[in-house]
Amino acid sequence: MNQWDMNQALGLTKDKKSFFEAEWPASANVHTLISTRQGGVSRPPFTSLNVGAHVGDVSEAVQHNRALVQQQVAKPLAYLNQVHSAEVIDAMSALNALQAGWPEAADASFCRQGEVVACAIMTADCLPVLMCDRAGTVVAAAHAGWRGLANGVLQNTVEAMQINPVEILAYLGPAIGPEAFEIGVEVWEAFCLRQPKAQAAFADIGNDHYLADIYALARLALADAGVHQVYGGTECTVLQRERYFSYRRDGQTGRMLSAIWLD
């Protein structure tokens, strides 16, 4: 009996308020889990399913919440020390570092068939991107804030998967939506001076400020890497207050998890 079957036998099925899965035509051996803010034990302002150990929450509450999430995943979760970089590492390496007490600084990970690990990303407005190939031989998860996007974290993740990009599927998880993501000219320049097509992802609202569409920017980055099978990208962590954590909205807050793994 695998871990998922054991969870079901114990009654640990997915609560739709706490967890959901990517909706995409992935291979049957590719599994995903995305958490919301609901169903945990953390108290305000981290109410309630906070998995972030770096945000000021009580350690015991975070560990309890991580255990609740781990019950839904058939393989150990390889959390990263996310630093808004474009660094991509092997999830097995990340898991070994985590278990040694020193999580690796990176913002994306990948794993291949046969590896006993799940790629894991934490977010609270930044964009989680899950990827797999059609055959279900490799998966990856990337933390794509605007800095990571601008510096190529998605392109680097695609390259690390070592699969023809036309065979890769991507799912854009919950992030800050285009009606809420107000940015300054420095962010506009980080994208548009490098790639003029990115201008379509920004709406000028005056005084050198713009509304940015992080989903559109991710689709551009993925297309630049040769990935065109892209799904998701419809949520807004800021506006959906009861469902998601949002750093932009609340400042001190928790983190959700997006995970992907292979049978």
Q: Is residue 5 scored above 50 in pLDDT?
A: no
Domain covering 26-176+227-262 assigned CATH 3.60.140.10 in the classification = yes
What share of the chain in percent tops pLDDT 70? Answer: 94
Q: Is residue 112 scored above 60 in pLDDT?
A: yes
3-state SS string over the chain? CCHHHHHHHCCCCCCCCCEECCCCCCCCCEEEEEECCCCCCCCCCCCCCCCCCCCCCCHHHHHHHHHHHHCCCCCCEECCECCCCCCEEEHHHHHHHHHCCCCCECCEEEEECCCCCEEEEEECCCEEEEEEECCCCEEEEEEECHHHHHHCHHHHHHHHHCCCHHHEEEEECCCCCCCCCEEEHHHHHHHHCCCHHHHHHEEEEECCEEEECHHHHHHHHHHHCCCCEEEECCCCCCCCCCCCCCHHHHCCCCCEEEEEEEC
Per-residue pLDDT, 15: 67
β-strand 256-262 against 118-123: which pairing, if any? antiparallel
Instruction: Give the whole-angstrom CA distance, residue 6 versus residue 143.
Output: 30
> What is the radius of gyration, based on Cα positions, of the chain?
18
Identify whether the C-beta of residue 89 lies closer than 8 Å to the C-beta of residue 104.
Answer: yes
Quote the tokens at residue 95.
């898991």
Per-residue pLDDT, 255: 97
Q: Which residues lie closer than 8 Å to 100 by C-beta, 6 or more apart? A: none
pLDDT digits (tens, 9 = 90+) for 43-91: 999 999 999 999 999 999 999 999 999 999 999 999 999 999 999 999 9
Mean pLDDT confidence for 98-126: 95
pLDDT digits (tens, 9 = 90+) for 162-200: 999 999 999 999 999 999 999 999 999 999 999 999 999
pLDDT level of residue 151 (50, 70, 90 thresholds): very high
pLDDT digits (tens, 9 = 90+) for 202-251: 999 999 999 999 999 999 999 999 999 999 999 999 999 999 999 999 99
Mean pLDDT confidence for 104-117: 94
Mean pLDDT confidence for 12-32: 86
Amino acid found at 38: Q
Per-residue pLDDT, 10: 30
CA distances from residue 193 to 150, 198, 204, 224, 250 in whole angstroms, order as listed: 11, 9, 16, 15, 31
Q: What is the mean pLDDT of the chain?
A: 93
Identify the sign of the CA torsion 221, 226, 228, 230. negative
Q: Is residue 19 scored above 60 in pLDDT?
A: yes
Instruction: Give the whole-angstrom CA distance, residue 182 versus residue 179.
Output: 8
Q: Is residue 136 scored above 60 in pLDDT?
A: yes
pLDDT level of residue 149 (50, 70, 90 thresholds): very high
Identify whether the C-beta of residue 46 lies closer than 8 Å to the C-beta of residue 89.
Answer: no
Quote the tokens at residue 76.
């150990």
Per-residue pLDDT, 14: 57
